[in-house]
């Protein structure tokens, strides 16, 4: 059994940032992930905002790690060629004097935290965003908010770690640990056992469960659900900033924003729930979001027209509303990085660098030398649809698969899907292809491309078509007809 220096549990943005930062060192690193690909948890369903803590409580770990995150993360995104909308800015609107007073306080807090912020008059606001409700009386404005592609970033971090020799194991759910004296000596999944000198728990919503494999714990992760509307690209230019209404203390307030792909994202609610697997949306909550946020901010947006899907993400909030980052109490080589709710995306690199300092303090790994052959950048990557006509034609002449469109909505070709299947982190589930290339994220939501992608995965990997999954074990799309054939459609 290979023994790793560091083993990370969970391949969300935190696990992948850790892998990315750790892979700079001359160490053996592994990541275990229970689903089929990276970015399967909160990292795939969130507001995608990179901000420096406009509403994080001073003195908390959340406030500490988000400080200066914009510079830190944009440097990494530039190196890894991850697209983002830098500094598109946030406008929070006020409909009455009471709201305006709260926004003035928000401006003062932001200025105190070293962020740029000011109050806009109604006229100034409507000049910047003509589609905002003309019933506003003013707004808070800060330029220090960017919009990123959360799963693109997570994939790029993981791929870079992989170029730097990190081993990723998918469909591997950690279900127990084995300890000897005051150390964890191995973790077990249903199929395998893995050994390392240091273990890091970055299991998101399940970080309390994983921590409890090691010892009695005094924290609990309470999921807080956020539901969203996603509008078609036709509506993507309705606004050019992140527009928000005032929060209710538990969230920054609901937002409407243009995504990096040109869609319009609107949400989200913030409702505490018990079931960590409940990612369903409800009519009641979506109605509330539409009434209290979308139509209030942008009256021209419809409740249904242009909406291509609705979805939910679960915040891994600890009951004390702060991050739990630190060494386990009773063992010396197990570190928890738990309760990473918003702004976890923004803070991911700062958190990873801090956790590396904790790893060093364990003294379990002696040498922390930077790799000689460290690969700092990912190869630049352009989708076929982003190439100019000559570049695209050149490619198609060499390989006709780059001329065969499989996802009509997002214009993804067969050649790109084949490349993703054989890429450094192979995308061999439907959700993996979706996150890597956006197949199925457009207007038809996979209605046209799904069966074609299943066929391509089968042809390229030899995996039986009935074994090809949406994501986790048991999420197969196809079933084998029972003996004598399926008569149900006769
Ligand atoms: C609605 C919403 C809005 C948000 N908006 C923003 C925002 O605008 N800006 C911002 O900065 N942040 C935002 N966040 C927060 C951000 O998305 C999270 O902080 C971040 O994604 C957390 O990453 P993670 O890696 O800790 O968790 P996850 O992404 O959930 O990853 C954890 C991983 O661990 C895996 N796992 C779990 N158990 C096991 C096990 N036993 N064995 C192996 N693997 C396991 C899971 O499958 C998962 O892939 C938002 C979050 C939500 C939900």
Q: How far apart are CA 369 and CA 314, in angstroms?
A: 37
In 3D space, the residue among 246, 228, 231, 245 whose CA is nearest the CA of residue 300 turns out to be 231
| Ligand 1 atom nearest to CA at 312 | 1
- What's the pLDDT at 392? 95
CATH architecture for residues 3-45+150-220+320-362: 3-Layer(bba) Sandwich (3.50)
Q: Longest C-alpha distance within the chain, in Å?
A: 73
CA–centroid distance, residue 316 to ligand 1 (Å): 7
Give the Cα separation of 379 and 383 in Å (integer): 13
* Alpha carbon 30 to its chain's center: 20
Atom in ligand 1 nearest the alpha carbon of residue 13: 25
End-to-end Cα separation, the chain, in angstroms: 52
Three-state DSSP at 220 gives coil
Q: CA 260 to CA 146: how far, in whole Å?
A: 10
Return the structure tokens found at 98.
């009471």
**201 CA from centroid of ligand 1 (Å):** 12
Residue ranges in the chain modelled with pLDDT below 70:
248-252, 484-490
Residues with CB under 6 A from ligand 1: 9-15, 32-35, 40-43, 46-49, 173-174, 202-206, 210, 226, 268, 313-315, 340-346
Taking the mean position of all CA atoms in its chain, how far away is CA 390? Answer: 34
Residue 55 token pair: 């509403």
What single-letter DSSP state applies at residue 389?
H
Active site residue 51: yes
Backbone angles phi, psi at 474, to 5 degrees: 90, 0
Cis peptide before 285 (omega within 30 of 0): no
Query: Would you state the pLDDT for residue 480?
Result: 83
- Cα–Cα dist 487/319, whole Å: 52
CB 24 within 8 A of CB 164: yes
Say how many Å lie between the CA of residue 339 and the centre of ligand 1.
9
> Ligand 1 centre and the CA of 290: distance in Å?
25
For residue 475, count other CB atoms closer than 10 A to its CB: 14
* Cα–ligand 1 centroid distance for 312 (angstroms): 12
- The Cα 115–Cα 67 span in angstroms is 10
Give the three-state DSSP class for 239.
coil
Contact 214, 244 (CB under 8 A): no
Residue-wise pLDDT for 457-485, tens only, equals 999 999 999 999 999 888 999 988 777 65
Q: For a ligand 1 pocket test, name from 14, 18, 35, 42 the mutation site with the most ligand atoms within 8 angstroms of its C-beta.
A: 42
Atom of ligand 1 nearest to the CA of 38: 49
Atom in ligand 1 nearest the alpha carbon of residue 314: 53
Ligand 1 centre to CA of 46 (Å) is 9
Virtual torsion, Cα 149, 151, 155, 161, nearest 10 deg: 90
Residues 218, 219, 220: CA angle, nearest 5 degrees = 135
Cis? peptide before 211, omega within 30° of 0: no
Could you tell me which residues come within 8 angstroms of residue 296 by beta carbon, excluding any fewer than 6 positions away? Answer: 95, 133, 245
> What is the phi/psi pair of residue 40, to 5°?
-95, -15
CATH class of 84-148+222-318: alpha beta
Catalytic residue among 51, 241, 261, 458: 51
Helices (H) and strands (E) in the chain, counts: 14, 22
Atom 14, ligand 1: which residue's CA is nearest? 342
Spans of all domains in the chain? 3-45+150-220+320-362, 84-148+222-318, 384-467
Residue with tokens 């976890």, as numbered in its chain: 344
Q: What is the pLDDT of residues 149-202, one digit of tens each?
A: 999 999 999 999 999 999 999 999 999 999 999 999 999 999 999 999 999 999
Tell which one of 203, 212, 322, 431 to mutate to probe ligand 1, the residue whose CB is within 8 A of the most ligand atoms.
203
**Of the residues 7, 36, 204, 270, which should be mutated to test ligand 1's pocket, given the most ligand atoms within 8 Å of the CB?**
204
Please give the pLDDT value at position 442: 93
HSE on the CB side for 440, CA within 13 Å?
Answer: 18
The CATH superfamily of 384-467 is BFD-like [2Fe-2S]-binding domain (1.10.10.1100)
Q: What angle do CA 348, 354, 357 make, to 5 degrees?
A: 145
Q: Quick one: pLDDT at residue 112?
A: 82
The minimum-distance atom of ligand 1 relative to the CA of 43 is: 21
């Amino acid at each position: 059994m290979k023994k790793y220096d560091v083993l990370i549990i969970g391949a969300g943005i935190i696990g992948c940032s850790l892998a990315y930062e750790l892979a700079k060192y001359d160490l053996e690193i592994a990541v275990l992930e229970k689903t089929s690909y990276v970015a399967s948890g909160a990292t795939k369903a969130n507001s995608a905002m990179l901000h420096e803590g406009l509403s994080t409580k001073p003195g908390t770990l959340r406030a500490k790690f988000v400080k200066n995150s914009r510079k830190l993360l944009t440097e990494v995104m530039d190196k890894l060629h991850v697209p983002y909308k830098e500094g598109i800015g946030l406008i929070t609107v006020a409909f009455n004097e009471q709201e305006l007073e709260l926004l003035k306080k928000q401006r003062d807090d932001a200025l105190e935290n070293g962020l740029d912020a000011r109050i806009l008059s109604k006229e100034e606001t409507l000049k910047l965003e003509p589609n905002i409700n003309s019933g506003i009386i003013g707004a808070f404005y800060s330029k220090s908010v960017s919009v990123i592609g959360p799963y693109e970033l997570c994939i790029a971090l993981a791929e870079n770690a992989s170029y730097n020799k990190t081993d990723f194991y998918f469909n591997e759910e950690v279900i127990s640990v084995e300890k000897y004296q005051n150390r964890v000596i191995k973790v077990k999944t249903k199929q395998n056992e893995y050994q390392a000198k240091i273990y890091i728990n970055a299991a998101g919503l399940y970080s309390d469960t994983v921590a409890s494999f090691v010892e009695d714990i005094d924290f609990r992760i309470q999921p807080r659900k956020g539901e969203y509307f996603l509008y078609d690209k036709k509506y993507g230019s309705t606004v050019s900033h992140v527009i928000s209404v005032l929060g209710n203390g538990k969230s920054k307030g609901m937002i409407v924003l243009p995504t990096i792909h040109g869609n319009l994202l609107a949400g989200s609610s913030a409702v505490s729930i018990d079931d960590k697997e409940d990612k369903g949306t409800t009519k009641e909550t979506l109605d509330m979001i539409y009434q209290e946020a979308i139509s209030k901010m942008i009256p021209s947006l419809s409740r249904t027209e242009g909406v291509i899907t609705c979805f939910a993400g679960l915040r891994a909030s600890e009951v004390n509303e702060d991050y739990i980052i630190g060494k386990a109490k009773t063992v010396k080589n197990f570190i928890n990085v738990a309760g990473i709710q918003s702004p976890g995306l923004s803070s991911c690199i700062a958190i990873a660098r801090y956790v590396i300092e904790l790893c060093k303090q364990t003294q379990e790994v002696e040498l922390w030398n930077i790799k000689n052959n460290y690969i700092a950048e990912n190869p630049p990557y352009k989708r076929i649809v982003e190439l100019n006509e000559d570049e695209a034609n050149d490619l198609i002449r060499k390989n006709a698969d780059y001329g065969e469109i499989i996802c009509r909505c997002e214009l993804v070709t067969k050649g790109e899907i084949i490349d993703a299947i054989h890429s450094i982190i192979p995308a061999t589930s439907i959700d993996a292809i979706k996150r890597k290339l956006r197949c199925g994220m457009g207007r038809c939501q996979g209605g046209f491309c799904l069966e074609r992608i299943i066929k391509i995965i089968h042809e390229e990997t030899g995996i039986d078509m009935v074994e090809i999954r949406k994501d986790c074990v048991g999420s197969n799309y196809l079933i084998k007809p029972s003996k004598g054939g399926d008569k149900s459609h006769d």
